[in-house]
Amino acid sequence: MTILSVRLAKILRESEEIPLGNRDRFIIFSDCHRGDNSTADDFAQNHTLFLYVLDHYFKRGFTYIELGDGDELWENDHFGHIQAAHNRVFLAMRGFYRANRLYLIYGNHDVERRNPQTVRKTMSSIYNIRTDKTEPLFPDVHVRAGLVLRHKPTGGRILLTHGHQADPMSDRLWKLSRFFVRYWWRHLQMIGFHDPTSPAQNVKRRDKVEERLVAWVRESGTPLMVGHTHQPRFPAKGKPPYLNTGSCVHPRCVTGLEIAGGRIGLIKWSMEADRAGRLFFRKGRLEGPRSLASVFGGD
């Protein structure tokens, strides 16, 4: 049994199960990498788009699941700077939290949040720029290693986690990787270089991570939904049920997985312009939707 098998089996065993019926609605995003609005902040280009998308799903009763690396805590050692840069995004997420429709999973870039004391210290409150007051944010939030969605009609389960468990540099050696990102690559990124330690920017490494995750799906017989590699994935019929949200730092677009009406699909939201030069937001479908039963199957 591999280290990855042990790690994912433990997360599967210990994660809370959320019932999923045909009337339930979920939107799953990963890898927002919200930063400090500097030139190294990859999320900044999609700030306005993401606000629109959150509002869209909140008004329609969706539950929001964030699959890790929501905040860029490798490059930024002060979460307050990220809160200030993306104040409106956090306040929009607070709406989901107050409606009991928010689940947060940690990834490698926000792995510190596996410590409940760190979560309480940094995520309980926020300075609201609009009201000029410090207000509650996510006072009792639990940031998890994973979640399990159990499909009520079939009894099938799918494991949701970040996916860095298949990437030793991001998992067991995360402190070393964070050191290089924070004190070396962040500054090179500002002048146009990209971090070669990231699977999102290293194709060979990304493919190796995905091979390991797909192998676990085959071995365990458990469908898996992750982020981490930034590469959107949706299984063709007859293929292992491995799904990847993609990320929220693609150029002028965000990708995710949408569950509604007993179906699941891979979607892309983008900012575009019409012939008059007016900007608008558009949702497109990259893959699916397919019935949940065909992806989840039975136990």
The pLDDT tens digits for 1-37 are 688 999 999 999 999 999 999 999 999 999 999 999 9
Which tokens belong to 214? 């797909």
pLDDT in tens, 158-180: 999 999 999 876 556 556 666 56
Domain boundaries, the chain: 3-296
Which range, of 16-25, 184-193, 242-251, averages the lowest pLDDT? Answer: 184-193
- Architecture label for domain 3-296: 4-Layer Sandwich (3.60)
Burial (CB count <10 Å: 0-12, 13-18, 19+), residue 287: middle
pLDDT higher than 60, residue 275: yes
- For the whole model, what pTM was predicted? 0.91
pLDDT at 299: 47
Confidence of residue 191 (pLDDT cuts 50, 70, 90): very low
Residue 260 CA to residue 10 CA, distance in Å, equals 29
pLDDT at 41: 92
pLDDT at 39: 83
